[in-house]
Structure 1
Amino acid sequence: MIKQLILLTSLLAVASSQATVLNYQTECIGSYTLQLPDNIEVALYPTATYLQPKSKYPIYFADGKRAYSSIFNYNNSFLMITKEWKDSNLSSIVSDFKEGFTKMKQENLDSTMNTIESKNQFGYYADSGFRVSYVSFDRIYTFYANKPYQAKEKNFEFYKQNAESIINGFSTRTLFEVPKIAGKCIPYGFVAGNNPSTPLNLGVSFRLNDHPDVVITFTENTRSFSDALKSDAKAEMQGFWDTRYDASNDNIAAIKLLGFPKNRSITMDGRSGVAGFVEVIYKDKSPSDYGYYAVVDYYSRNAKSQKDHPWLQLSVVGKASEAKGKTPLTKDEIYALAKTIEASIMRRDTEQ
């Protein structure tokens, strides 16, 4: 479904207005659908450093801007989704996969290791962990878990069940393609399954192509993977602006909550939460930026989903210095964009 939003921007001392037109389509993330502008880029793993240790390549946009709020964890397992590869490089990676798993089988003939190999699917599960990789439509999707990175003890049965559920349920999808069946949406992919309570910590960041100053992030977090969130929605919202937003930027003089009340009551998916709309003020007197952060915490319920109530987080942040010569969205436009997305967030009927 496509909607159209016209954001009217008042011009000081001028009896006229300009309009930014955004067309919206329905996207899905985890258990939820939401309306997003249709001309957007998704932050993913870069291809150039794919074979390096995970800590060396977080999630980025195509121009190298890091998406600090993005995180891909599915069912107590890590998830990597790459940007599109060039054909020659992708062929080389597939050859490396085949050689690696052939060697793995030879070195573990007497172990409980089971390997998975087909034309575009490679993986294994064993006592120590599992990994399943798909090569499809010039992307690589990799699910993996192992004991050194897991907070809770795992065993062979956990790794086997996780690997088999992904092997049996995974499929690719295009942006704005929303599956009709039960399961969880990941960027450009989907894992079918009949467990609405599958643990997730899935934060996906988007950037507007026509307004690259604006980054949108939506997160579904069941908290079974990480306890990094604050104790409730208000504390999490304040903590985001007080300590985590653009933490390395020494040019920030202050971040000022706007409006009254400053902690605004909001609703996402019929659940109550808290939001803050801020002005970011700079020491060098450059124009202020504006951002919106909304949180629904674990304790908030709605009538349809009494059992499934993850943390929900939505941020819409503008940074005019990153507009790349294009017209940045104004304060009012950023706020209207955030409220439009917020109002559209709904848990899919198959995930109740």
Structure 2
Amino acid sequence: MAMKFGTMHRYLAMIFAVVSSVPTLAAQQEECVGRYRLTLPSDAQVAMTTEKAFNGRQSSPIRFSDDLTASLSSFLYNGTFLISRSVSQGEFDALVTQARSNAAASAQSPYADQRFSVVKVSGKQSLIWKAATTSGFFTYIDGTAISFLARSGSEQRAVDVLDHLKVRADGEVPTMPGVCLPGVFISSSQPDYSREVGVTFRLKDHPDVLIYFRDAKALTGQPKLTSRQKNEFVWTSEFGVGKAVKLHGAFPWRTVKLDGREGVGSFATITRRDDSTDYGYLVTVQGDPDAATDTPDLLLYVERNDAASQGKTPVTAGELEKIGEEVAASIRRR
């Protein structure tokens, strides 16, 4: 039977209203952190070491381009990394020249722990150095300045890391075994001496949304917190997100899996120091230092920071929780 015109009009209006209410989805961005990969809901910026911090002149050294700090981020893999795209070639050349000058001057020091030497120089692009208890390198590749410091008096660890290092673009996820840091990939299938790679992303369409993921090698001697205990500790002490945190739900702890490993998730309203309100989604997974295979501590934290919204409408509590759940579901061992 033919549909009457009035009924047809109302039907089409309803369809149009439903379609119009569906938000336009931006292209997702694949990323990698440590030995894991994850999917971000849209294009994102990654926090990296600032130019000032690379030259030793800034606290809170990992930041976004508008100077918003990423205090949770950590670039530790068999040593400590500084990684910056804001250091020019000229600034890097000056840094290497100064390092060589300092090494020559340190030879006159009467104390062994104050002396260091340049082991190898590859043109203007790389310099490997060593001291009594530390070693490291500086390198500059395709506009990315990288510094590495290892707690080892032998330069071999620095040599090994530099030999297996390459830069990568945002969204580029290598297929070979290795460790991802912001803008950097170190190929390796060997057990890691140490690894605590925590990276903070910020959605370009929603600069109020920060996504932090951490892959930390489980080490013997560390406090053995369960996933739930770690979740509670993060909210109450570790992150210091505000002056008050209120978990949602009568039973706020829920089972969430990262890479198929069972952990604990929670969602909270955060009251900041200035009494403003934000939201956070947290998942923690306990590692096992005694496992036959690498079984690290995993942590995902998705936060709304209204103060960083750059004039754009902040996401709602429900939207932030959904983003957190989708990112958690995407995390896989790479």
* Band of TM-score, shorter chain: 0.7 to 0.9
Alignment match, 1:203: 198
| Structure 1 residue 53, shift from structure 2 partner | 5.9
Alignment match, 1:138: 143
SS in 2 for 1:48: helix
| Structure 1 residue 92, shift from structure 2 partner | 3.2
Conservation of the 8 A alpha-carbon contact between 2:48 and 2:62: yes
**Which of 72, 86, 89 is the aligned partner of 1:84?**
86
Change (3 A) 1:284 1:38: closer
Q: Does 1:270 align with 2:260?
A: yes
Note the alpha carbon deviations across 1:82-140, whole angstroms, 9 max, x for none: 1323x4xx303313313422552575499894512113111212432112111122221
**Which of 300, 314, 319 is the aligned partner of 1:314?**
300
User: Letter of the aligned partner of 1:62 in structure 2?
Assistant: S
Alignment match, 2:76: 73
Q: Partners in 2 of 1:235 and 1:33 — Cα distance?
A: 25
Note the alpha carbon deviations across 1:151-204, whole angstroms, 9 max, x for none: xxx4x3xx3231121121011111111122221111111111221444201100
User: Letter of the aligned partner of 2:279 in structure 1?
Assistant: Y
Alignment match, 1:233: 227
Alignment match, 2:186: 191
| Structure 1 residue 260, shift from structure 2 partner | 4.9
Q: Partners in 2 of 1:178 and 1:206 — Cα distance?
A: 15
| Structure 1 residue 33, shift from structure 2 partner | 0.8
| Structure 1 residue 17, shift from structure 2 partner | 3.7
SS in 2 for 1:336: helix
Q: Partners in 2 of 1:68 and 1:284 — Cα distance?
A: 19
State TM-score, norm by structure 2: 0.83
Change (3 A) 1:172 1:18: same
Q: Partners in 1 of 2:51 and 2:275 — Cα distance?
A: 38
Alignment match, 1:289: 278
Alignment match, 1:218: 213
SS in 2 for 1:272: strand
SS in 2 for 1:124: strand
**Which of 303, 322, 326 is the aligned partner of 1:336?**
322
Q: Partners in 1 of 2:318 and 2:101 — Cα distance?
A: 57
Change (3 A) 1:62 1:258: same
Structure 2, gaps ≥5 residues long: 1-16
SS in 2 for 1:242: helix
Alignment match, 2:4: none
Alignment match, 1:21: 25
Q: Partners in 2 of 1:331 and 1:255 — Cα distance?
A: 14
Q: Partners in 1 of 2:101 and 2:272 — Cα distance?
A: 56
SS in 2 for 1:275: strand
User: Letter of the aligned partner of 1:133 in structure 2?
Assistant: F
SS in 1 for 2:298: strand
Q: Partners in 2 of 1:60 and 1:112 — Cα distance?
A: 30
Asked which structure has the greater CA Rg, the reply is: 2
Conservation of the 8 A alpha-carbon contact between 1:39 and 1:208: yes
Alignment match, 2:245: 255
| Structure 1 residue 226, shift from structure 2 partner | 9.1
Conservation of the 8 A alpha-carbon contact between 2:119 and 2:130: yes
Q: Does 1:168 align with 2:163?
A: yes
Conservation of the 8 A alpha-carbon contact between 2:144 and 2:167: no
Q: Partners in 1 of 2:293 and 2:74 — Cα distance?
A: 24
| Structure 1 residue 332, shift from structure 2 partner | 1.4
Q: Does 1:64 align with 2:64?
A: no
Change (3 A) 1:194 1:244: closer
State TM-score, norm by structure 1: 0.79
Change (3 A) 1:204 1:225: farther
| Structure 1 residue 290, shift from structure 2 partner | 1.4
Q: Partners in 1 of 2:26 and 2:91 — Cα distance?
A: 40
Q: Partners in 1 of 2:220 and 2:144 — Cα distance?
A: 26
Q: Partners in 2 of 1:210 and 1:269 — Cα distance?
A: 27
Conservation of the 8 A alpha-carbon contact between 2:116 and 2:129: no
Note the alpha carbon deviations across 1:207-241, whole angstroms, 9 max, x for none: 111211111000011144994x7612111111111
Change (3 A) 1:282 1:63: closer
Q: Partners in 1 of 2:121 and 2:331 — Cα distance?
A: 38
| Structure 1 residue 37, shift from structure 2 partner | 3.3
Larger mean CA deviation between 45-54 and 317-326 belongs to 45-54
Change (3 A) 1:230 1:202: same
